Amino acid sequence: MAALLEVQNITTQYRLKDGFLNPCDQVSFTVEKGEGMGLVGESACGKSSMALSLMKLLPDNGRIINGQVLLDGRDISRFSEEEMKKVRWKEMALIFQGAMNALNPVRTVGDQIVEAIRIHEKIPEQQAWKRAKMLLESVEIDGKRVRQYPHEFSGGMRQRVMIAMGIACNPKIVIGDEPTTGLDVMVKSQILQLLERLRREKEMGMILITHDLSVVVEICEKVAVMYAGKIMEYGPTDIVFEHPAHPYTRALINAFPNIYGDRQLTASIPGSPPNLLNPPAGCRFHPRCSCARPVCSQEKPELLPVGGGHYSACPLVVR
Ligand code: SF4
Ligand code: MG
């Protein structure tokens, strides 16, 4: 059976003053129905650009220059804006970092959820209000609060309202781009549990973008580790984190000594990610890699299977 979402060799390009930059370079992965995939990596490694590429919401200077995004077998990367309007929110939804601040302060949360529903579905207003109440309840907010304004809710609750809006049209797949960043630890864990429950109940696919490995361990079956626009390692979460095959994943895990508990990032990886306007030749991680050899600055490693659905883009290290 074909995967719900099959991303094949996606390359995205931004046109900048000083040249072209590819925030995502030949990225491939799949997400099955009901499956959760974590997309992890340091900031500016291309995770958010990947989300925007999938949704076709790249800024004006950005575009997909290569590859396919198959959603239920249809290549949506070729879809027109008109066609994408039918896909966004109805089939694929994006919940982004700080989304709670995107609520309109002068309209009730109910008004905003109802509007989100009725843009996509021609249903009577009364029915949409009923659904809005149910949606609030599904994100554990009392449905009676549907006529309240955003300022009457806490930050965590507003983020839950945004999740309710994200799932309002029953999408097949939800992308959460750092959906809990900026929230305190308790609220964060409630939101993650909520996303996890909704995913299971509705059998939604989910892509969770985060730099917090412990979140991925908690709720994703699968993980893709991204560095400088490329997937470095990919596979079942437990295998990747317990037997990482790629030096970058190992460094990330070392910077996060207790991925099964404490969420604190305690050490950082020496050096910094490259400027993507002029990425290093060969393996993009080579200037920071403690295992690097001369060949690493010459040959571009490919993401290759290492067994058990596990892939690594480092040919020099075996697990
Ligand atoms: Fe390190 Fe070389 Fe492997 Fe890249 S290919 S991760 S530089 S050992
Ligand atoms: Mg980001």
pLDDT digits (tens, 9 = 90+) for 215-265: 899 899 999 999 999 999 999 999 999 999 999 999 999 887 676 655 555
Residue 166 lies in a domain: no
Residue 306 lies in a domain: yes
In the reported structure, the alpha carbon of residue 127 is separated from the centroid of ligand 2 by a whole-number distance in angstroms of 36
Does the CB atom of residue 289 touch ligand 1 within 6 A?
A: yes
Ion ligand 2: residue ranges with CB closer than 5 A: 48
- How many residues in total does the chain contain? 319
Number of domains making up the chain: 1
Q: Give the separation between CA 58 and CA 120, rounded to whole angstroms.
A: 21
Range of the domain at 39: 5-91+171-312
- What pLDDT is attached to residue 185? 83
41: confidence class by pLDDT, cuts 50, 70, 90:
very high
Does the CB atom of residue 259 touch ligand 1 within 6 A?
A: no
From 293, 299, 312, the mutation candidate for ligand 1 (largest count of ligand atoms within 8 A of CB) is: 293
Report the pLDDT averaged over residues 1-20.
Answer: 94
Residue 139 lies in a domain: no
Handedness of CA 270, 273, 274, 275 (dihedral sign): negative
Closest CA to 308 of 220, 234, 230, 208: 234
Tell me which ligand sits closest to the C-alpha of residue 96. 2
Tell me which ligand sits closest to the C-alpha of residue 49. 2
Kindly tell me if the per-residue pLDDT of 310 is higher than 70: yes
195 with 136: CB under 8 angstroms? no
ipTM for the assembly: 0.97
Residue 146 lies in a domain: no
Residue 258 lies in a domain: yes
The helix/strand count (H/E) of the chain reads as 9, 12
Residue 35 lies in a domain: yes
Residue 277 lies in a domain: yes
Tell me which ligand sits closest to the C-alpha of residue 98. 2
Q: Which has the higher per-residue pLDDT, 99 or 157?
A: 157
Does the CB atom of residue 244 touch ligand 1 within 6 A?
A: no
Q: Give the CATH number of the domain where residue 17 resides.
A: 3.40.50.300
Pairing of strands 230-236, 222-227: antiparallel
Does the CB atom of residue 47 touch ligand 1 within 6 A?
A: no
Q: Give the separation between CA 23 and CA 9, rounded to whole angstroms.
A: 13
Residue 105 lies in a domain: no
Q: Give the separation between CA 207 and CA 219, rounded to whole angstroms.
A: 11
- What pLDDT is attached to residue 13? 97
In the sheet with 92-96, reading across from the earlier edge strand, the strands are: 92-96, 173-177, 205-210, 36-40, 222-227, 230-236, 310-312, 304-307
Kindly tell me if the per-residue pLDDT of 298 is higher than 90: yes
Does the CB atom of residue 280 touch ligand 1 within 6 A?
A: no
299 with 305: CB under 8 angstroms? no
